[in-house]
Every structure is written in C-alpha cells, then in structure tokens.
A and B are shown apart, each in its own frame.
Chain A
Amino acid sequence: MKTHYGIYGGQYVAETLMPILHELEKEYLAAREDPAFQEEFRSLLKNYVGRESPLYYARRLSEHLGGSRIYLKREDLNHTGAHKINNTIGQALLAKRMGKTRLIAETGAGMHGVATATVAALFGFECEVFMGTTDIDRQAVNVERMQTLGASVRPVSEGSATLKDAMNEALRDWTARSADTFYVIGTVAGPHPYPLLVKDFQSVIGEEARRQCLEQTGRLPDEVVACVGGGSNAMGIFAGFLEDSDVALTGVEAGGAGIATGKHAASITGGRVGVLHGSKTYLLQDDNGQVLETHSVSAGLDYPGVGPEHCFLADSRRARYVTVDDEEAVDAFAMLARFEGIIPALESSHALAYAIRTAPAQSRDRIVVVNLSGRGDKDMDSIRRFRKQQAASAK
C-alpha cells in the first residue's frame, strides 16, 4: 500500500497509534471494495446531503468581468452548508463498520465540527469536538450548532489556541481512547490513510463537476480553481480532473495580510518541508523548526501545513498554487453577493478572488470552474471585524 505522495505524507505518529492506523487502513480498503458500503454512502449523499450539487454558470459576474466564463460548483448548497459533510458521512460509516461508539474531531472555523456533530446525531454516536479557544470566540454560532446537535465542545487553550492545537489535542485523546473512539479528521492531512480516504470521500465533487461541465458546455473546463487550507475541497474537485492533462488545476492559499508580512497561511507558497500531525508536508515554521502561527481572515484556511498530495502536485507541477490576501478575498465575497445573489464562505472567496483577478485578461471562450466549497452566513462577523480594522488602519 502506498503511504506517501513522493516524499510527502507517511505516518509520523507515536508507536501507540500505528496499530490503530493499520487497522483503519485495512478496514477502509475493505470498505472501498464493498458494494454495500459504497451504496449506503452514495444513498446518504443523495438523500441526506442533497447531492448532486449544481454546477452553475455565473453569467452576470462573468459578463461584468468580460473574460472567462466562471462556473461555480455549489458545495455551499449541501446540508450543513459546506463540502465537509461528504467526508464526515464517509468516516461515520467507517466508524460504524469498525464498531466504534464515539467520534472525535478537530475544528477551526467550526464547519467540520458541525459536520461531524451532524453525522454523530444521524448515527447515534457520542461526539466530542476539540476547538481552540481563539476559534471558539470567533465562531460562537458554530459552537452553539454543535451543542444543539448533541456534541460537546472541548476548548483547547494551548499554543495558538487554534486549529493545529485542536488537532494535537484530538490526537492525544485518540492515543488514549482508540478502543471505542474513531477520529474523524476534516481534511486531506494527518497520517496515512487519512489523506487517501478523505480525498476519496470528497472526490464526488470532481466526478460531478466533470460530468456537469461536459453536459452543459460540451467540453472540459480550461481551469479548475479551489481554495487550499488543508486542501480537502481542492483535492475533491481536482480528483475528477487529474488525468485530464489539458485542464489546469489551481489551488489558492490564504495570503493573509500579504506574503511579505509573514502573516499568512500559505504553506506551499511560503513554507519549507517539515512534519506535522503525522504527515510530511510543506510547513510554516521558524528557523528552529517550530511551527508558526498562521493568519487569515478565514478561520478555515488557518492551518500551517497542507495535504501531502497537494505538496506532491505542486512539486510535479500538475497543479499550481497561488495566493489571495484577506482584502482581495473579502472583495470577492462582496462581489459574488452583489452580482449573483450568493454569499460564499470566506474560504471559497479566496478561490473566487483568483478567478475574478484572472478572468478579464482571458478570452470569452475560456471556462473556469470554481469550487464554491461553502456558504458565507457564518462569516458575517468576520467580515464586519475585518472592515472595521481596515477602516481603523486607514485613519
């Protein structure tokens, strides 16, 4: 079994977790070949999540920009409001198959926490979600959503008190309680087999988008664009086009206050090879190998590492990784709302911003598919705070 993507990925965990990862790998490979498992997964995606999600031609936006035709893959229309649910359904089915009774998860913005709490309720699992205290303050509504769904939220106050620290704490909990507990990782990071299984569960996005694009336009897109924090929505949509060498794949990292300021979360653009949370990856770290705090207006992109397959795709140049800073993302957020009546998540706004930036210089025949990975209702406070800070610093 391949556990690495080039030099990236692997299983950099304490020995106590190794037998657990081996068991998970074995169960997952069996489930992957099991028609009953796949049938239950597909059926829940259809009837519970509401798939397939539309591929929507953003006509007014595209015509306003005067270049590429921009299509949106509407993952924001999924139950719970983001792509995260595709993965948590898959992992919950796996947990059930393995006889576990308790789910744990890490969350940053809270979307993966909500998606995990949701499937815990759906299947009757006990559920605990680890969340940094900084994020709990930033995302109060999602904390309430998780609690409403019956999950308990465990505050993590160590380190930077954000996503990476929540993931450390979840890994510690799992190390001690693997007998009854399944760790639902929210992105294509972490030790093997997580990057593989999360990609598989999210690849429905790319499969649908490819087929829908062919149906609607008669051809494949010229470019597929997605935001990259850990990179699960990007990996999910890229998965449908990896073999189509004429389709450009572009991952958009969070440029924060600007790469030059050091206040960003762009691991591929600004990081060096390192190891975090069980995986070799591009990592934002200081000269002594200590992991840096990240900065982004979007909590969901605030992660210092990135999925190992993205690192591999970057090195092999199959995908290209660019950055969009806070301000440009916030502007794209507003623009989509005004031109299309769709309020996108701040994470997805990064991908959108890149498409908006590049569209005008392109021909009107060019087709760009943007993964609109989530909806932006959760981000109203963040936007308001950002605008306020902006106004204050302009004075």
Chain B
Amino acid sequence: MDKIQKIFASCATVDRAALVIFCSCGYPDMDSSEQIIEDAIAAGADIIELGVPFSDPMADGAAIRQASEVALRQGATLKGVLAMAERLSKRHPDTGFILFSYMNVMLNYGLDALCNELRRIGVDGILAVDLPFEERAELADPCRSAGLHLIPLVSPMTSLERAAMIMGEATGFVYSVNICGITGVREKLPPEVAERLASLKERSPVPVAAGFGIADGASAKAIARVADGVVVGSAVINKLLAPGELETRRRDASELVRTLAGSMSRHA
C-alpha cells in the first residue's frame, strides 16, 4: 500500500473522511506559506495540495487568484515550491502531498524532470487543473514511470459514463468538483451533491474526494458523510486574506482547519 492509499484506509477504519487542504504556496511569502502548511498539518490535515501560483488561473475564484497574484509578486516559483515540499515531506513522512497547478508551469519545468524530482522529494502526485482526460498522456506517462499519482477531476457536467472512464484509469484518488464553476466558497452547496457523490463512489475503484464551495465545518461535515475525502482551499485562504496582523490571520486559518478536521468523522 502506498502513502495515499494508507491515508484513506486509515481514515476509513475510524469512519471518517480524509481532510485535504489546498495551500497557495508563496502567499503571503514563501516562508510564511511553509509555516501555514505546518499549521494545517498540526491542525489535522491528512493531505496537502501544494498550489503553485500561475499568472492566468482560469479555473480559480477570487480568493486563490488574489493569493496567487501576491505570491508571484513575492517571487514564488515552482523551483521554490519544490524546495519547500522537500523540507515538508521530510518532516511529515505520513502526510500526503499533491502538487497542484496549471500545465504551463509544469511544461516549462519539463514533465519528465518534474516527475522524477517529485518522486525524489517525497511528493505523492500531481493534479493539473487544465489537463482533462483527453490530454493526459503527456503527463500520465512520466507520472507512471516515476510512480506518482495523476489525480483526475470529475465535475457535475461529467456524465456518469465519462466519470467511469476517468475513474477507471485513476490511481491515488479522484477529485470530484461539487459545483459547476470556479473555485471559491459558496453559501450553500447544491442539494444533489450527496446523491452524485454516492453514484461516483459506487463506480470508482479509488477513493473520491470532493471539493469546491465548502465554507465551514457544517458544509464539510455534510460532504464528509458521503465522500472519502473533503478538499478545502478558498475558505482557509479567505482567513489569510482578511485584514489584520499575519499572526492573527494564521491563527484563524489554523482554527478553521482544526474545525474542519473535527467535522470529518461520520459518527454523530
């Protein structure tokens, strides 16, 4: 069993969902974001998505865009994120790490070189936002050679037939998008989310983590009942984007992660 499988398996044995936290690497600067990820792990995140900022984040909502823009201004790069990931994965050998970005940043680094480097530093997989099933070969091949998971997305627009095709080739886990649209907190998730997740889980050979739109402990809890994992990004980033001292904002973000972690259990 590899690390990602172990994480989902051990969560399942205590009847809870795995908590996946998306972090905008380099926001508000590289050192602080490393500390923010440390906080998230201490507060109960099982898997960290290392968001590499891109100048043209066409699938992202306001929170992640704003954080990315600041991170880029502060000089965040993929190389810098990899150096940080190496330190983090050494300190936290049981935490899952997924590199999360847009294709251009990865292509620019070189896909073979990137996959080999990720393997070497202990990162478990890649999620490329703008790499759908039809285009996946160029990244899936180097991922396979390096033993990395290429995490696919399915969305409410994806037919169950297409979802089955996507999930059939997945390793690690599948990321199910809760809503039609871009990342970001929503007041309410659509009522059909639970039923949709149940049908995806029925068809998926790997765990299904669900994300997009989750605002707080209550919405996380609702998703945790039906998904194997819950992904939260913008809600945590919103805490960090709020006005005030960085120390305070960091503490608020970390408290939210603790609340989310406490909402993963399926026991009443």
Residue of A nearest to B134 (CB): A11
Interface residues on B, range: 35 or more
Is B198 engaged at the interface, CB distance under 8 Å to the other chain?
no
Residue of A nearest to B66 (CB): A158
B103 partner residues in chain A, CB cutoff 8 A: 12, 275
Decide if A15 touches B58 in the complex (CB within 8 Å): no
In the complex, the answer to whether A14 meets B132 with C-beta atoms within 8 Å is yes
Q: In the complex, what distance in Å separates the CA atom of A204 from the CA atom of B243?
A: 55
- Contact check, A289 vs B133: say whether CB atoms are below 8 A apart: no
Contact B108 A289 (CB under 8 A): yes
**How far apart sit A283 and B55, CA to CA, in the bound complex (Å)?**
13
Contacts of A175 in B (CB 8 A): 59, 180-182
Of the listed stretches B43-51, B154-162, B189-197, B216-224, name the one at the interface; the rest are far from the partner chain: B154-162
B54 CB within 8 Å of chain A: yes
Check B104 against A16 for contact (C-beta < 8 Å): no
A217 at the interface (CB under 8 A from B): no
- At the interface, yes or no: A89 with Cβ under 8 Å from chain B? no
- Contact (Cβ within 8 A) B159 A14: no
The answer to whether A290 and B72 touch across the interface, beta carbons within 8 angstroms, is yes
Do A290 and B132 have beta carbons less than 8 Å apart?
no
From B59, which residue of chain A is reached at the shortest CB distance? Answer: A14
Q: Is the interface of A mostly helix, strand, loop or mixed?
A: mixed
* A contact residues around B156 at 8 Å (CB): 16
Q: In chain B, residues 101-141, which have Cβ atoms closer than 8 Å to a Cβ of chain A? A: 102-109, 129-135
How many residues on chain A are close to B (CB under 8 Å)? 37
20 additional contacts (CB under 8 A) given A12-B103, A159-B55, A176-B181 = A10-B135, A12-B131, A13-B58, A14-B130, A14-B132, A15-B133, A15-B153, A15-B154, A15-B157, A16-B59, A16-B155, A16-B180, A18-B132, A175-B180, A176-B182, A274-B107, A276-B104, A285-B108, A287-B108, A289-B106
Residue of B nearest to A160 (CB): B55
10 closest residue pairs by CB, A with B:
A289-B108, A176-B181, A16-B155, A289-B105, A15-B153, A290-B55, A14-B59, A275-B103, A288-B77, A19-B157
Complex: A283 Cα to B129 Cα, angstroms: 19
Name 27 interchain pairs, CB-CB below 8 A, sorted by A. Answer: A12-B130, A12-B131, A12-B132, A14-B129, A14-B153, A15-B132, A15-B155, A16-B59, A16-B153, A16-B180, A18-B162, A19-B162, A165-B56, A168-B58, A171-B58, A172-B60, A172-B61, A175-B59, A175-B180, A178-B157, A272-B108, A275-B107, A277-B58, A287-B108, A288-B79, A289-B108, A291-B55
Q: How many A-B residue contacts, CB cutoff 8 Å?
A: 118
Instruction: Return the contact of A273 from the options B69, B105, B107, B157 (Cβ within 8 A).
Output: B107
Cβ of B231 to closest chain A Cβ, rounded Å:
14
Interface status of B177 (Cβ within 8 A of chain A):
yes
Distance between Cα atoms of A164 and B109 in the complex (Å): 22
A16-B177, A19-B162, A288-B78 in contact; A3/B134 too (CB < 8 A)? yes
Q: Which of B46-90 contact A (CB under 8 A)?
A: 54-61, 65, 69, 72, 77-79
| A residues with CB within 8 A of B | 3, 10-20, 158-159, 164-165, 167-168, 171-172, 175-176, 178, 272-278, 283, 285, 287-291
The docked-state distance in angstroms from the alpha carbon of A358 to that of B1 is 67
CA distance in complex: A386, B155 (Å):
48
Closest to B166 in A: A15
CB–CB B108/A13 < 8 A = no
Chain A residues, CB < 8 A from B108: 272, 274, 285, 287-289
CB-nearest residue of chain B to A15: B153
Given contacts A175-B182, A290-B54, are A16 and B130 in contact (CB under 8 A)?
Answer: no
| Residue contact A18 to B157, C-beta cutoff 8 Å | yes
Q: Are B155 and A158 in contact (CB under 8 A)?
A: no
The answer to whether B58 and A178 have CB atoms under 8 Å apart is: no
Q: How far is the CA of A17 from the CA of B79 in the complex (A)?
A: 30
Q: Which residue of A lies closest to B212 (CB)?
A: A16
Instruction: List residues of chain A with CB within 8 A of the CB of B134.
Output: 3, 10-11, 18
Contacts of A285 in B (CB 8 A): 104, 108
Chain B: CB-nearest residue to A165: B56
Interface centre among A13, A15, A175 (most CB of B within 10 A): A15
B127 CB to nearest A CB, Å: 11
B57 engages A168 (CB within 8 Å): yes
A272 CA to B61 CA in the complex, in Å? 28
Known: A285-B108, A289-B105, A289-B108. A172 touches B157 (CB 8 A): no
Complex interface: chain B residues within 8 A of A277 (CB): 56, 58
> Are A11 and B157 in contact, with the CB atoms below 8 A?
no
Contact B69 A12 (CB under 8 A): no
With A and B bound together, what is the CA distance between A288 and B78 in angstroms? 7
Contact partner of B158 among A15, A158, A159, A168, CB < 8 A?
A15
- B153 CB contacts on chain A under 8 angstroms: 14-16
